[in-house]
Amino acid sequence: MATLESRSVKMEGPAKKFRGKKFRVAIIGCGGIAQTHLEAYKSIPEVEIVAGVDILPERLKVMEEKWGLPKKALFSDWKEMLKKIKPDAVDVCTPNGVHCAPVVDACNAGCHAMVEKPMAMNPAECEKMIAAAKKNKVKLAVGFQQRYNPHTQVLINARDKGQFGKIMFVKCQALRRRGIPNWGVFGQKELQGGGPMIDIGVHILESAYEFMGAPKPIAASGNVWTYFGNKPSTTRNAWPNWDYKTYTVEDLAIGQIRFDNGAILQIESSFVAHIPKNDIFNFTAMGEKGGCSWETGEIYCDQNDLMVNMTPTFISSSDAWGSLFVTKLKNWVDGCTKGTKLGAPGEAGLAVQKMLDGIYRSAAAGKEVTIK
């Protein structure tokens, strides 16, 4: 399964008209990922996009010309927008370093919040966001779409039926042969917090962690290397000409997480991995009774005194990139308007952030670190 976020978005046809009161959402950060969110909202008829916030005028122009927002609904300051528009909720699609502040301000203004992955720059920021949501009794969700992927859900269903027994070991991979983003600020550590581990590794990490049943992480070890992105390259690839002069993140990160139940998770993530395929996005698991592969949906177990590999002939036709965004945003909207359970609440974002933070802290310290 491809992991490049620049892929085109496919939706499932026009949504039915909604005749009730609209759920008024403001978009904070109107760049590439926000456009994917906006396409998804077209399939959620109860949502009305009422404002856009961005520091770049050209992005606000897109909000006006493509999405039909009037000039009075376009802002460069989210605080001004919150005061004048008073939306029901905000959808924060800014760089990672600008996740915490707008979410906290929105919660304090009585707005529900969706924030793109990763939740923030560090666990302390996550905790501040969660506290603001609880204080103001609003819903906070994190943009973890891969836990809604049918591949993830099929394995969770098998887990719940006892197919794997105790899960002991999970190996995650989010690797690109050559995929350094040549747009945005993905290569700038001060704005992103990290490179491929925090950008694409987070996707497979959050889905694998959900599959494991969300045990408590207690320790992390990790290593990071920068060997390619900080220099020019003449190698042909789909995303050439990234800004190597401002590239301060890792090219490759390897991590291991230990959990309180004795399980171990390992993860490999890279923008520049010398692998045989264009990209690898998968986790495999080993349990006492069975194992599995996320990418194929295969389950490996013993049946009738035989070692059996079970391969599904069909999983779903709705695991396209755009469909996952519809599912995660609809889950959040329903949580805000109907009180249903959030699939990825702030606490889930905090747990994943603690693991990411632990890997980076361990890499800097050169030893295993404790996760509290």
What pLDDT, in 10s, does the model give residues 80-128? 999 999 999 999 999 999 999 999 999 999 999 999 999 999 999 999 9
Which pLDDT score is estimated for 14? 41
Identify whether residues 37 and 120 lie together within a single domain: yes
For residues 49-70, give the mean pLDDT. Answer: 98
> Is pLDDT larger for residue 318 or for residue 279?
279
For residues 17-44, give the mean pLDDT. Answer: 91
Identify whether residues 287 and 301 lie together within a single domain: yes
Let me know if residue 8 belongs to a domain. no
**Rounded to the nearest 10 degrees, what angle do helices 202-211 and 346-365 cross at?**
120
Residue type at 185?
V
Q: Print the domain residue range for 174.
A: 147-317+352-370
What is the percentage of the chain residues whose pLDDT exceeds 70?
94
> Is pLDDT larger for residue 316 or for residue 266?
266
177's CB contacts (< 8 A; 6+ apart) are 237, 272, 273, 274, 275, 277, 278, 279
Let me know if residue 75 belongs to a domain. yes
CATH of the domain at 101: 3.40.50.720
| Number of alpha carbons in the 13 Å side-chain half-sphere of residue 327 | 18
Identify whether residues 339 and 310 lie together within a single domain: no
Which pLDDT score is estimated for 9? 33
Identify whether residues 97 and 211 lie together within a single domain: no
> Is pLDDT larger for residue 11 or for residue 361?
361
pTM over 0.85: yes
- Examine the pLDDT at 255 and tell me if it is beyond 60: yes
Identify whether residues 186 and 221 lie together within a single domain: yes
Model confidence at 208, in pLDDT bands (50, 70, 90)?
very high
Let me know if residue 4 belongs to a domain. no
Model confidence at 17, in pLDDT bands (50, 70, 90)?
low
Let me know if residue 5 belongs to a domain. no
Let me know if residue 7 belongs to a domain. no
Q: Give strand pairing partners of 300.
A: 291, 309
Identify whether residues 48 and 173 lie together within a single domain: no
Let me know if residue 296 belongs to a domain. yes
Model confidence at 7, in pLDDT bands (50, 70, 90)?
very low
Which pLDDT score is estimated for 320? 80
Model confidence at 228, in pLDDT bands (50, 70, 90)?
very high
Pair 259, 215: CB distance under 8 Å: yes
Which pLDDT score is estimated for 5? 31
Identify whether residues 185 and 276 lie together within a single domain: yes
Which pLDDT score is estimated for 322? 84
- Examine the pLDDT at 282 and tell me if it is beyond 60: yes
Identify whether residues 153 and 51 lie together within a single domain: no
For residues 57-74, give the mean pLDDT. Answer: 98
Model confidence at 3, in pLDDT bands (50, 70, 90)?
very low
Let me know if residue 310 belongs to a domain. yes
Identify whether residues 216 and 307 lie together within a single domain: yes
CATH of the domain at 290: 3.30.360.10
Which pLDDT score is estimated for 82? 98
Identify whether residues 40 and 69 lie together within a single domain: yes
Lowest mean pLDDT among 160-169, 198-207, 320-329: 320-329
What is the percentage of the chain residues whose pLDDT exceeds 90?
92
d(CA 123, CA 142): 14
Q: Which two tokens stand for residue 27?
A: 């978009």
Let me know if residue 13 belongs to a domain. no
Model confidence at 264, in pLDDT bands (50, 70, 90)?
very high
Q: Is 145 left (phi over 0), alpha (psi -120 to 50) or beta?
A: alpha
d(CA 192, CA 180): 14
Q: How many domains does the chain have?
A: 2
- Examine the pLDDT at 19 and tell me if it is beyond 60: no
Which pLDDT score is estimated for 4? 29
d(CA 125, CA 295): 32
> Is pLDDT larger for residue 4 or for residue 328?
328
Identify whether residues 175 and 305 lie together within a single domain: yes
- Examine the pLDDT at 206 and tell me if it is beyond 70: yes
Nearest of 111, 119, 165, 175 to residue 139 by alpha carbon: 111
Model confidence at 170, in pLDDT bands (50, 70, 90)?
very high
Mean of pLDDT over the chain? 94
Which pLDDT score is estimated for 132? 98
Residue with tokens 């949501």: 133
Identify whether residues 180 and 272 lie together within a single domain: yes
Residue with tokens 């992991």: 3
